[in-house]
Amino acid sequence: MNPVYWCFPGGLHKALTLSYDDGKIADRRLVSVLNRYDIRATFHLNAGKFSRDGRISEAEVASLYAGHEISAHSFTHPTLTRLPREQIIQQILEDRRGLEQLAGYPVRGMSYPNGAFNSDIASLLPHLGMSYARTTHSTAGFDLPEDWFRWKPTCHHNENLLALADKFVSLNKQHMPYLFYVWGHSYDFDQDNNWDLLDEFCSKVSRKADTWYATNIEIVDYMDAVNRLCYSVNCDQVHNPSSLTIWIKVKDNFHQIPPGKIYALSH
């Protein structure tokens, strides 16, 4: 029996994603660097704090983050674990509402402001239209999360970033999926005077033939579709009920499973 392995889009076995919080004006420089290297990211924003405390304005949100993901970070950035449930709900829904008016699409993810959350908050999020939430607890590894609402990144960009980049690039076991997730705040680069770190990182990891460069929500949606695949007992047929094309590898052969189709796998 030959193993049937799912793959990232294009038959790839690696994925890279970044996320940055707060929407400070240093995002302008950050986005410029990422765009130059064709690297995509998710930006967690506070709809109630635009044009305040060194943040970008509402008017530039859609154009600045074009090609990236606009995601939530609560309306005014309180510590959610100290709020009553009613205010937690308001913080998340009002942030979604404001960001969606600017983004032009449903906002379905978030990062926890101040990194603070608990099981009650995590369990509440799916009922508020969320599909994932990122924490600030680094793993220094490249595993996919077991729980999308407790999504642990690989590292903050000040945590051994270049060594982890070298390790990620060198990984070559194609039967293993690898996800490199970097998070931070763009203003960290200003405070630490280390924008050269970002350039060096991007030059190491960008434009690799084995890597999918994705936003947070694209990874969540793709993996949801992977997990919805329905196989026959003999694994010679697979039904893809999702709206996404899913890639599968059998022996040395790659298969694209079209959305809404039953596909015959040749072993």
List pLDDT tens digits, range 197-213. 999 999 999 999 999 99
pLDDT tens digits along 236-256: 999 999 999 999 999 889 999
Task: Kindly tell me if the per-residue pLDDT of 140 is higher than 60.
Answer: yes
Q: Which fold has domain 12-224?
A: TIM Barrel (3.20.20)
Which among 209, 159, 216 is positioned nearest to 44, based on CA atoms?
Answer: 216
Check residue 252 and give its pLDDT: 86
Delimit the domains of the chain by residue range. 12-224, 229-264
Quickly count: other Cβ atoms within 10 Å of residue 235's Cβ: 15
- Say which residue the tokens 């030059």 belong to: 203
Helix (H, G, I), strand (E, B) or coil at 177: coil
Which among 157, 147, 205, 198 is positioned nearest to 16, based on CA atoms?
Answer: 205
Looking at every residue in the chain, the average pLDDT score rounds to: 97
CA distance 128 to 94: 11
Quickly count: other Cβ atoms within 10 Å of residue 127's Cβ: 8
Average pLDDT over residues 180-189: 98
Tell me the Cα Rg of the chain. 19
Check residue 266 and give its pLDDT: 73
Check residue 1 and give its pLDDT: 75
CA distance 267 to 178: 25
pLDDT tens digits along 9-39: 999 999 999 999 999 999 999 999 999 999 9
Average pLDDT over residues 59-74: 98
Average pLDDT over residues 166-170: 98
CA distance 7 to 215: 17
Check residue 2 and give its pLDDT: 85
> Quick one: what percent of the chain has pLDDT higher than 90?
96
Query: 267 pLDDT band (50/70/90 cuts)?
Result: low
Task: Kindly tell me if the per-residue pLDDT of 88 is higher than 60.
Answer: yes
pLDDT tens digits along 171-182: 998 889 999 999
Query: 103 pLDDT band (50/70/90 cuts)?
Result: very high
Check residue 174 and give its pLDDT: 83
